[in-house]
Structure 1
Amino acid sequence: MRALSFFSRSGSIRPARSDFSWRRPLGFLPLALVLSGCAVGPDYTKPGFVLSQNFSNTSQKGEARPAELARWWEQLGDPVLNQLIETAIRENLDAATAKARVREARASLDRETGGLLPSADGSGSARRSRSSGEDPKMSNLFQTGLSASWEVDLFGANARKVEAARYGLDAAEEDLRATMVTLIGDTASYYVQARANQARIALARRTAASQTETVRLTQSRFDAGAVSAADVANATGQAASTEANIPSLRISYAEALHRLGVLTGGEPASLAGLMDKPRPIPRPKLPLGSGVPADLLNTRPDLKVLERKLAQATASIGAAEAARYPAISLTGNISTSAAQTGDLAKNSSISWSFGPSLSVPVFNGGALAAAAEVARAQRDASFLAYRKGVLTALEEVENALVSLSQQRQRAAKLSAAARAYRQAADLARTQYQSGSSSFLEVLNADRSLYSAEDSLIASQLSITSAYISLNRSLGGGWDGTVDTSTPAVRDERNGPRLRKLTPDN
């Protein structure tokens, strides 16, 4: 880099007569101001994608209508779930971290914007000295001054940096919304898992109690010589097997409960009192609108994050390209020195200087060109990430739609199977007590009934989980305001103070 300075001027308030006119360099200022509006590098244009008119798994009438994403979880009609989500929005640590990133991005934008403005620094000093020799004398020297500089944004390097920072702020705000979408979906998912585990525990207890009663009846018949010892052993084994499922279900319930506690910003077991009273698995109102694929570009905040990062990477190309062009800076300073403070304002003690400087890249071994190529490659990576994000979003919606549709059909069949197995179990038990059927038929009927009812609960969980996944994949989330201005950590002492000599442990 070679720096060339031109048209500099310095002197006192009353400079000596000279052939040089200080108006000459100022004549270049209008030109500099015009050039400061120039820009290099590509201007960002939001890419367009050709998408299908409808989702391929939209089969039911009304599903193509726009999705109702605002506060979608309230459609489940569970006040406890609503309370948990409200708490998670306020207290979740991932959300708080995303808020901090918004503040960071906002501060970065302010910092880059400051680069477009002139800077000024003041200085002052006071010195007392004593000369040596036979007749030493004491003397004072007081100095004060002001210096200012302004970089003319000749080819838009600083403007591109501001543009990139603005896109970065947009990305941080959309990332906060994406965090909210994930948080709400996770809270709802773990909540319905907890309710499903409660339902499965209750079913296992009821079934085990019924099977224990069967053991008692079989033992009575064995004592009367009506059945064999094998029937007693089979009845006892089946009851024990059913009871053995309960600890595993309790583990799953505890894991979901603990996850909910952390999601809502508390300790793992902080929601035990709220969740201990069982409630049914929330069920969505169907059918649901899913909109069209193009809606995802506007409703999914994670896609907006990727698009804003693409815009940010595009602006960074301009900043890298501008570094390859000349740069102009305007600098000036005024200073005064005197032996007494009262003489600082006298003309004879005041000096000043002013002048622009030009920096021209002459030789840098291709580093600046390589930096511009790095920025272009990063822009390409951002574009591909955006494109991949769109395809992934489409995949998630399609999966949720087919899962919701197929799980509804499966639940209908499982409900019919559970009714049939319940009837078969009642008939087998009645016939066994009357002696017209074997105990093996009772065991098989009880086992089939328990399996069908447990599968039905799991299917009901799958329906609600698919509903949650659909709303999450469509971009549904928090529609209220989020305070991003309040820091998580408040510093009480920021002003100057005596430094501690020994650090705290």
Structure 2
Amino acid sequence: MTPSETMKTAMPDRGKPAGTSWNRPLRFLGMLIMTTGLAGCVVGPDYQKPDLTLPATWGAAQPAKSSRPPQLAEWWRRLNDPLLNDLIQEAVAGNLDVATAKAKIREARASYRKAVGALLPSVNGSGSVTRSDNGSNVSSGGDITVSGPYTQYQAGFDASWELDLFGANRRAVEAAHYGMDVAEEDLRSTLLTLVGDVASNYVEARGYQARIALARRTAASQRETAALTRVKFESGASSAVDVANAAGQAASTEANIPDLEASNAEAVHRLSVLTGRPPGALTARLRRSTPIPRPKLPIPMGIPADILRSRPDLRLAERRYAQYTAKIGEAEAARYPSVSLAGSVSTSGTKIGDLGKNSSIGWSIGPTLSVPIFNGGQLKAAVEIAEAQRDQYFIAYQSAVLTALEDVENAIVSLAQEGVKSGRLAVAAKHYRDAASLGRSLYQSGSQSFLDLLEAERSLYSAEDAFITSQVAITTDYIALNKALGGGWSGTVDASKPAVIDTNTGPHLASSGGKFNLLGQHN
């Protein structure tokens, strides 16, 4: 190499742009980032979905020729009640529990983005302008001497990045991703419960209306019997005791109506609140009585393994178990060394134009190693805490599966046995109806005592009321079975829209909102 070539190599190239001196540290930082990212690893257990052994068939169900999965999508439409369909649509749109579940989804998504951001470097810029006078000459940039007051301009940025050598941040991202799944399944579980509650309360309201109508019809018939008894008493063919018993029975039947009206109002109020409205909002729409919705039976129930896919509460429990498995890796990574990179570039001068000159630029870059040596066993204890929490959610998942199986089995038995009961009650009501009709005719002709007629009418009312109650129970058990199998809302729900729309969120003067003044006193 010639002396002139040596001179050219040693001295800076004044012909290059002012920012060229930044390139070398930035290239070094970029290469280190890529190399470290490729070499990174993770600690802690890798999640594996539990393999549970489930029964091959439902124990309480009759053997079926086909084990096809149940048709759970919009199962309530098979009740053929347009108003019920409308109320479920309105509940999905307006229910406050659903709105809360939507907010949890937005929170989980934001938490995931925050966790992902921890994998990336952070960069902060800074700048300042300072007017000074220290009574002495100040040399700026090596070329200009300033005497007296002067202005100092400074600019630069700092960058830092924690190298995820043992996967702490990646485990956090994994846990946050599972957290999003948990929030979404929580929304589906909320919708499943909501649809079931709306349908159950609607059926109960229709049942109370039918029982109220029955009580009024029966009371009217019993008043006619009381009037007939009084006529017979006035003609000497009956006693005052018969007249009193007849009037008392009619009044006793009428006394059931207020309780039934109150129960009906409670069901309507619950429906209104479920749709996100005040309690009395649906009173007018539900005032006109309609028949109790009746399901079309039987329904296919599939096999027990189907509920692992169809029930959102089970999927939620499994995702929660996965989330806390990832958290073990977060805690375990804290026991290993950590490395972070920090770098800065700064420039200063007495003129803005001096900020980009090579002579005013300074930079620094370097790694920082942190090794846990002694912490009193805290880090090991943190891992054990995470493992114990993971075990709790694993057990909770197993418990949820067993509870789900129990729910289905119970609903199957209840629906089947209620069907048998309803059939017997229908036969009993028919016989009591015939007995009451015949007894009235015989009583009018004087061939039967009043006490026999009184017992026949009382038994008829009891049997018909029990039959209506059983019809409600059949539909309620049908709803419970669909819920137990995992049937819920299958449509889309937009969780991106916040419940509160904030305005004027940029820099502005604080407002008391009409509640407190600047001194903290309530207005």
> What is the rounded CA distance, in whole Å, between the counterparts of 1:472 and 1:495 in structure 2?
46
Q: For residue 458 of structure 1, what is the aligned residue in structure 2?
A: 469
Identity %: 57
Are the counterparts in 2 of residues 63 and 288 from structure 1 also a CA contact under 8 Å?
no
**1:498 aligns to 2:516 (yes or no):** no
Provide, for residues 32-57 of structure 1, a one-character-per-residue CA deviation record: whole Å limited to 9, x for no partner. Answer: 33332x01000000001111110111
Deviations 1:384-439 (A, max 9, x none): 00000000000000000000000000000000000000000011111111111110
What residue in structure 2 maps to residue 81 of structure 1? 84
CA contact (8 A) 1:75 1:284 kept: yes
Unaligned stretches of 5+ residues in structure 2: 1-17, 137-146
2:128 corresponds to which letter in structure 1?
Answer: S
2:69 alignment partner in structure 1? 66
Q: What is aligned with 1:213?
A: 224
Contact 2:226-2:247 within 8 A present in 1 as well:
yes
Q: Displacement of 1:345 after TM fit? A: 1.4
Instruction: Give the aligned partner of residue 427 of structure 1.
Output: 438
1:119 and 2:125 equivalent? no
Q: CA contact under 8 A between 1:62 and 1:288: conserved in structure 2? A: no
Task: Give per-residue Cα distances to partners, 1:164-200, cap 9 Å, x unaligned.
Answer: 0000001100110011000000000000000000000
Change (3 A) 1:239 1:62: farther
Instruction: Map Cα deviations across residues 77-99 of structure 1 (whole Å, 9 max, x no partner).
Output: 00010000000011110001000
Q: After superposition, where does 1:399-414 map in structure 2 within 5 Å?
A: 399-414=410-425
Tell me the CA shift for residue 499 of structure 1.
2.5
Structure 1 position 347 matched with structure 2 position 350:
no
CA displacement at 1:346 relative to structure 2: 1.7
Deviates more, 1:137-146 or 1:111-120: 137-146
2:212 equivalent in structure 1: 201
Superposed CA offset, 1:190-249 (max 9, x none) = 000000000000000000000011111111111111111000000011000000000000
Partner of 1:9: none
Query: Could you tell me how far 1:468 is from its partner in structure 2?
Result: 0.0
Paired residue for 1:35?
39
| CA drift at 1:130 | 3.4
* Contact map agreement 1:25 1:355 (CA 8 A) in 2: no
Q: Which amino acid aligns with 1:467?
A: Y
Pair 1:172-2:183 in alignment: yes
Cα gap change, 1:62 to 1:279, in 2 (>3 Å) = farther
Q: Deviations over 1:316-365 (max 9, x none)?
A: 00010001001111111001111221211122211100111111111111
Distance 2:335 2:434 in 1: 84
What's 2:285 paired with? 274
Equivalent pairs counted in the alignment come to 486
- 1:323 — aligned with what? 334
Distance 1:106 1:27 in 2: 31
Further displaced range: 387-396 or 23-32 = 23-32
Residue matched to 1:181? 192
The SS at the match of 1:355 is strand
The CA distance in 2 between the partners of 1:22 and 1:124, in whole Å, is 20
Q: Distance in 2 between matches of 1:272 and 1:57?
A: 40
CA distance in 1, matches of 2:491, 2:33: 49
Q: Does 1:287 align with 2:298?
A: yes
Code of the residue aligned with 1:68 in structure 2: it is Q
Letter in 2 for 1:180: L
Partner of 1:45: 48
Give the alignment partner of residue 56 of structure 1, picking from 55, 59, 63. 59
2:507 aligned partner, one-letter code: P
Aligned-residue CA RMSD (Å): 2.0
Q: Aligned equivalents of 1:28 and 1:293: distance in 2?
A: 53
* Alignment correspondent of 1:93: 96
Deviates more, 1:484-493 or 1:21-30: 21-30
Q: Deviations over 1:438-475 (max 9, x none)?
A: 10001100000000000000000010000000000000
What is the Cα deviation at residue 101 of structure 1? Answer: 0.3
Q: Which one has more relative contact order, counting CA pairs under 8 Å at least 6 apart?
A: 1
Give TM-score scaled by structure 1 length: 0.93
Shift of 1:22: 11
With 70-79 and 212-221 compared, the bigger mean Cα shift is at 212-221
User: Taking structure 2 as the reference length, what is the TM-score of the superposition?
Assistant: 0.90
The partner residue of 1:337 within 348, 353, 372 is 348
Q: 3-state DSSP class of the match of 2:232?
A: helix
CA contact (8 A) 1:425 1:445 kept: yes
Segments of structure 1 that go 5 or more residues without pairing to the other structure are: 1-11, 16-20
Secondary structure of 1:273's counterpart equals coil
Judge conservation of contact 2:19–2:357 (CA < 8 Å) in 1. no
Shift in CA distance, 181/26, structure 1 to aligned 2, threshold 3 Å = closer
Tell me if structure 1 keeps the 8 A contact 2:324–2:386.
yes
- The residue aligned with 1:5 is none
Residues of 1 paired with 2:401 and 2:28: CA distance? Answer: 57
Report the Cα distance in structure 2 between the residues aligned to 1:437 and 1:139, rounded to whole angstroms.
123
Shift of 1:131: 3.6
Cα distance in 2 for residues equivalent to 1:29 and 1:492: 40
Go from structure 1 to structure 2 and tell me whether the alpha carbon gap of 1:446 and 1:130 turns closer, same or farther (over 3 Å shift). same
Cα deviation code 1:280-335 (max 9, x no counterpart): 11000011111111101000000000000000000000010001001111111001
1:498 positional shift = 2.1
221-230 or 448-457: bigger deviation: 221-230
The partner residue of 2:274 within 259, 263, 275 is 263
Which of 193-202 and 266-275 deviates more? 266-275
